[in-house]
Amino acid sequence: MSLMGGLVKAVNERPQQPEKKPRGRPLPGRAVAVICFACFLLVFVFSRPVSFLPSEKKTRFVYSSSSSSSCESGMPQSSQDCESRTRSGKGNPRDIIREVSKTHQAIRSLDKSISSLEMELAVARMNSNGGSSSSGHGKALKKAFAVIGINTGFSSKKRRESVRQTWMPRGTKLKRLEEEKSVVVRFVIGHSATPGGALDRAIDAEDAETKDFLRLDHLEGYHELSSKTRVYFATAVAIWDADFYLKVDDDVHVNLGILTTNLARYRGKSRVYMGCMKSGPVLFQKGVKYHEPEHWKFGEEGNKYFRHATGQIYAISKDLALYISTNAPILHKYANEDVSLGSWLIGLEVEHIDDRSMCCGTPPDCEWKTRSGNVCIASFDWSCSGVCKSVDRMKDVHSSCGESDAAIWDVVL
């Protein structure tokens, strides 16, 4: 009150000013004093930090701020205090970077966990009916170690015969291979544009004799190979519960013994994608073989595709086959089926296994390797994307590069 009284007194004792014509009603002295006091309070409040914390926490906050300022300004301060604050990581760029790195690692770990859960969900969907197939017939899935689908067409009967006469077992041996080694081998084909026509009846007659076909609900066509690959995997996982699913062209030579042995090394591993990995150029010129209509998606002209297994032969584990089957309607198809498969898997946590024994050349290449003890899984000519003139040469390739007849039967799984 003494302060207010002093202000009032000072106002009242001001020297008299010459009288001027008042512009309005003068303020009373008490009002002037109140305004001055309010201005004083405002200056006092906004000129220093105010904390509404309890006194103990407020004291600690003020001490921390003043101490930090002292360390930064170089004022006398305990060196232990400054060092302890430096170790605590407050304002230290290295510690911030370290925390950001830990956060990124946690995000990557979470992404892997999500990917793994998606795969398990696909498996759970397939097994939700107690192991029944997706066809709805309630039949239990057949157990198998590997399902090998040999891609073929209506006009490739002679190719099929060359395969049956060399590396693919026939008749009772084919059945024995399934029963003893759990390895299933089938020629894979869809239907013609006129279902039930002459082409389809010819396949029906051939299958009745050889019993080595897997028929797909798919319209055959060279430019429909990506779609055929999707349908093949979806059909195979609906019939067989296998560890691996493979696709092979009908003009490629295969050694089943070494193939099965190599696959067994990865048995029990999840998300395995095995083949001869390559990264060929994206062909943007129209009219050339393997032209890619969607070349613009891969960047500038002259760019290459991402790494993917060459289409002559490749293998994927069960979880990947189930993933393809489950998501088939939304998997994009590119012009080349091996690129399509690679694109379906490129964004997943997949182990890419580059096995160069799956892309040996025909004699003398595979012959030299066989003699040195490095038997090839598959042999073909890159220039022909298969064994050139395979109908005439498959026996010669098998004679020079084929493993012994007992090789597949000696494999221990």
DSSP conformational letter for 140: B
| φ, ψ dihedrals at 172, nearest 5° | -65, -30
> What is the chain's mean pLDDT, rounded?
81
Q: Between 184 and 33, where is the model more confident?
A: 184
CA atoms within 13 A on the CB side of 165: 16
Quickly state the pLDDT bin for 288 (edges 50, 70, 90).
confident
* Residue 262 pLDDT exceeds 60: yes
**CA 165, 145, 323 angle in degrees (round to 5)?**
110
Distance of CA 217 to the CA centre of its chain: 28
CA–CA distance, 280 with 328 (Å, rounded to integer): 25
Q: Give Cα 131 distance to the centre of its chain.
A: 26
Percent composition of the chain: helix, strand, coil (DSSP 3-state, to 5): 50, 15, 35
Q: Average of pLDDT values for 90-102?
A: 74
The pLDDT of residue 251 is above 90: yes
The b/e string for 78-100 (b: 16+ C-beta within 10 A; e otherwise) is: eeeeeeebeeeeeeeeeeeeeee
Contact 314, 274 (CB under 8 A): yes
- CA nearest to 352, candidates 296, 277, 268: 277
- Evaluated on CA atoms 15, 20, 26, 27, the torsion sign reads negative
Rounded distance between C-alpha atoms, residue 319 and residue 242, angstroms:
10
Q: Tell me which amino acid residue 26 is.
A: P
Residue 206 phi/psi, 5-degree rounding, is -65, -40
pLDDT at 52: 43
pLDDT band at 134 (very low <50, low <70, confident <90, very high): very low
What structural domains and CATH numbers belong to the chain? 142-410 (3.90.550)
pLDDT in tens, 208-234: 999 999 999 999 987 789 999 999 999
pLDDT-based confidence at 291, cuts 50/70/90? confident
Q: How far apart are CA 282 and CA 28, in angstroms?
A: 90
Confidence bin at 178 (pLDDT 50/70/90): very high
Read off the pLDDT of each residue in 289-299 and give the average, rounded to a whole number.
83
pLDDT the model gives residue 44: 57
Q: Which two tokens stand for residue 393?
A: 């040469």
Q: Is the pLDDT of residue 65 over 50?
A: no
pLDDT of residue 284: 83
Rounded distance between C-alpha atoms, residue 286 and residue 141, angstroms: 45
Ranking 27-41, 166-180, 339-353, 396-410 by mean pLDDT, the lowest is 27-41
